[in-house]
Amino acid sequence: MSNKLSATLLFTCAIGLLPHSVFANSNQEQVIISSGKQQAQLQTNIGVFEENVEIIHGQRKIFADRLEVHRREELGENKQLLVATGSPAIFQERQTDGSLLKASANEVRYDVANRLLTIKGNAEISQAGQKISAQEILYDMEKQLISAQKANDEGKRVRTVLLPVDKKQDGNKEQQ
């Protein structure tokens, strides 16, 4: 078999394996990754998706200009770190209570094994009538703990907006 054919087969296999591993701790639902360009760095176990990237996996979606999927032993049991960048990159997940968690920033990092979301650069996270804006936001999805901070060199502060939620109206929105 020629080296070019071998490299093509390895590349195809590597790209094929990445989507299955992206959300390994979730139910066995399919993962769909669409982009204008996809490539794999086989030696470093990094998949790179560029140009209008969209990942759909069950109740979770990621939209970005570029997405890197890192797969390494030192990252833990599920071994994946997703790094999405864009103007902005967006992470969305429908929660068990029906509310939509939406995070956007210049960079969105999702540590799959630890369910840790780190958003940096014009970061904003919203859920259930609450919106937090900061330079950097860390959200531990397992513990439901959010930590936000401003940049050291900027005068901007962390901003939280709490909107009153009409339970009757909110229930109607979720059913649509």
Query: pLDDT at position 89, please?
Result: 97
State the residue range of the domain holding 87: 3-175
Query: pLDDT at position 172, please?
Result: 47
Local structure of residue 18 (DSSP, 8 states): H
Number of domains comprising the chain: 1
132 close to 146: Cβ distance less than 8 angstroms: yes
From residue 7, give the alpha-carbon distance in Å to each of 36, 39, 46, 74, 155.
21, 12, 16, 26, 51
Q: Which residues of the chain have pLDDT under 50?
A: 1-27, 75, 169-176
Query: pLDDT at position 21, please?
Result: 45
Query: pLDDT at position 12, please?
Result: 41
> Can you give the CATH number for the domain in which 11 is found?
2.60.450.10
